[in-house]
Structure 1
Amino acid sequence: MSSQFWKYTRSNAALSRQWAKRVQAPLPFILEEVNRRMVNRAQIMRPVEGGVVHQGWLHPAALASVKALFGGRELAVFAPSAIELPAAPMDKAAESFLSKLWPGRASVAKAASARELPLGANLPLADESQAMVWSPLWLHGLEDPAHQMADWLRVLKPEGGVFFTCFGPDTAKELHGFAKCLSESIPDFADMHDIGDLMSKQGFSDPVMEMEKLTLTYSTPEALLQDWRAFSGNFLAGRGKGLVSTGRYQQAIQTLRALKSPESGRIPLTLELVYGHAWKVKRKPKIDVTSVKISDIKGRKASK
């Protein structure tokens, strides 16, 4: 499937640039929270023996818990550009937590190395060579998510699995009015059922999709925008590039102030998180069956 999966076409080049800028900043709160929730849910995964691929929204500060989760496995990390990854061991509290969550798997994983891989390119890994793919908050920003899913299926071993998160339709719904004032658009985020159907079409077996809504609240529009922009920019192909006047920007800010709750005096920001996991099932070889009519069998004579 092409980029027509989306109402608003993405730009892999824009997503790469924005990631490169944000990965140099402190760990965004949104990514930190989603990563924590993914690790909490990962106890349902029982991958076969083998390596793990991290191909998602990467920040070095978020890798420690993932490395501990897959303790002892080789972790191959891919990003739009090469970056250095921390080699520090897990802190005691996190290691203790993971030992309870997933007994026997909380030892620190082998050192990971981040390898450069342009968005849209295939993983430089052999077919059926990996046990697991881990992908936080990435699919919703890609031009062609179907291609990414198909490549994951290619590198996974039979009975290997993928676990990912992406944003659902209600994410940042409060920002639509703000974006409209600036002649911009908030990306359309896919429903979990559409993502699940897309995975099935690529060959994954019975994808399990879940949805969770979080509501963050802020005292000012500026604080809300700071959190959102720390994680996400405008990665749409048709995004505007001109400067915005002060008056127009203040008009946009007013759309956020209008959302302030009368009770709490705070402004909400919705995050709809879509969780998906699926397995690559080993296909049984087809057996050719020859059909013979009963009348033909009865009419045959036994050879002497």
Structure 2
Amino acid sequence: MTQPIKWLQDEIAERMLQKLDIVKLDVRDILLIPDFPGNHHASLAKRFPRARIHSVIEDGSSRFQLWISKTAVNWRSLFSGGAVGSLSHLRDNNKFSISDHSVDLIFSNLLLQDLVDPKLFLRECWRVLREGGLVVFSYLGPDTGKELRALSSSSLQLKNLISPWDMHDLGDALVVERFADPVMDMEYLTLDYQKSELLLSDIEALGLANVNHHLDVEIDDLPHKLTLEIVYGHAWAIGKHLAKSHDSVAFIDVNQIGRKTRTDSH
């Protein structure tokens, strides 16, 4: 995402937080992926006032603005700043810059569609979540920007989403990566435009097209609306002492098996 689309990130973050209303979770550490200077910090601080926020920062975001956004709503951030990483590091290495079993909640807003392999992302979420932790996410589904597919403008180089996974694909991947009780749902948002320039700005910010600004865009060919398919999901990290299953058989670490002794009386 880029600066012109921050309003969408804030809107979807608020909807994600509303979906958390029914979830009971003791949170000490939160990992935001991506983190950006938005209104979501105030909502998270209100929901989890004692939590420390760790950030994977969106490329191009100001770390100073991010720090101001956090500390304005949560004074604990002044004294207990969390770990910080970047999306570019995540994309290059498929790793978070954070230790194993270190967070209780991962909050990922509109990211998965930009990753080459979301399964690697889920694997990292499993690694860093504590036992009983929760991953919550949203991303753009494959019907996003469907109005653009009929365009033939030479000024627009249309692009497919890097990972056009529907909610069933992601739900299956969660199960494969050992997450428990995955819940998936989706909704369509329709954006209406009075100015084609705003549409061009949004589709470029969403990664749906590259705009050749040296050519005049055929304005008459552009739609006046844009459909966004928003997919939501969450799942729990439960039973982390179990090794990865193979052929539907789970293998238990021998160190996790307790031994009960019996003293015979005579």
TM over 0.5: yes
1:150 paired to 2:123 = yes
Cα displacement (A) at 1:113: 5.3
Q: How does 1:1-304 map to 2 (within 5 A)?
A: 19=1, 22=2, 25=3, 28-56=6-34, 58-62=35-39, 63-80=41-58, 83-84=63-64, 85=66, 86=68, 87-90=70-73, 108=74, 110-111=76-77, 112=81, 115-117=84-86, 118-120=89-91, 121=93, 122-178=95-151, 181=154, 182-187=156-161, 189-229=164-204, 231-233=205-207, 245-246=215-216, 249-250=217-218, 253-256=219-222, 259=223, 267-282=224-239
Query: Structure 2 regions of 5+ residues with no counterpart?
Result: 243-250, 254-266
CA distance in 2, matches of 1:283, 1:186: 35
Distance 1:32 1:161, change over 3 A: same
Deviation at 1:277, TM superposition (A): 0.2
Deviation at 1:198, TM superposition (A): 1.4
Change (3 A) 1:88 1:280: closer
Note closer, same or farther for the CA distance 1:189–1:163 as it changes in structure 2 (3 Å cut).
same
Tell me how far apart the structure 2 counterparts of residues 89 and 184 of structure 1 sit (CA, whole Å).
Answer: 40
Q: Distance in 1 between matches of 2:4 and 2:23?
A: 29
CA distance in 1, matches of 2:151, 2:160: 9
How far residue 215 of structure 1 moved from its aligned partner, in angstroms, is 1.1
Cα 1:113–1:177 change in 2 (3 A) is farther
Q: Distance in 1 between matches of 2:83 and 2:102?
A: 18
Higher RCO, 1 or 2 (CA under 8 Å, sep at least 6)? 1
Partners of 2:136 and 2:234 within 8 A in 1: yes
Deviation at 1:80, TM superposition (A): 5.0
Aligned residue pair count: 230
Residues 234-290 of structure 1 show CA distances to partners (whole Å, capped at 9, x for unaligned) of: 5xxxx87977633xx21xx3322xx4xxxxxxx2211111000000112576689xx
Q: Which residue of 1 aligns with 2:261?
A: none
Report the alpha carbon displacement of residue 64 of structure 1 after superposing the two structures with TM: 2.6
Letter of the 2:101 partner, please give it: E
Unaligned runs of 5+ in 1: 1-18, 91-107, 260-266, 289-304
Identity of paired residues, percent?
Answer: 30
The structure richer in strand per residue is 2
Counterpart residue type for residue 245 of structure 1 = L
**Contact 2:55-2:84 within 8 A present in 1 as well:** yes
In our comparison, the structure showing a higher alpha carbon Rg is: 1
Deviation readout 1:68-110 (Å, 9 max, x if unpaired): 33221111111255712224544xxxxxxxxxxxxxxxxx473
**Alpha-carbon distance between aligned partners in 2 of 1:34 and 1:160, rounded to the nearest angstrom:** 21
Query: Which residue in the other structure is 1:95 paired with?
Result: none
Task: Describe the SS at the equivalent of 1:61.
Answer: coil
Rounded to whole Å, the distance in 1 between the matches of 2:11 and 2:121 is: 24
1:9 aligned partner = none
- 1:51 touches 1:73 (CA, 8 Å); kept in 2? yes
The Cα shift of 1:223 comes to 2.4
Question: Deviation digits for residues 31-55 of structure 1, max 9, x if unmatched?
Answer: 1211221121121332244311111
- Over residues 183-215 of structure 1, what are the superposed CA-to-partner deviations in whole Å (9 max), with x where a residue is unaligned? 432326221001111121112113100111111
Separation in 2, partners of 1:205, 1:220: 45
* RMSD of aligned alpha carbons: 2.9
**1:142: how far off?**
0.8
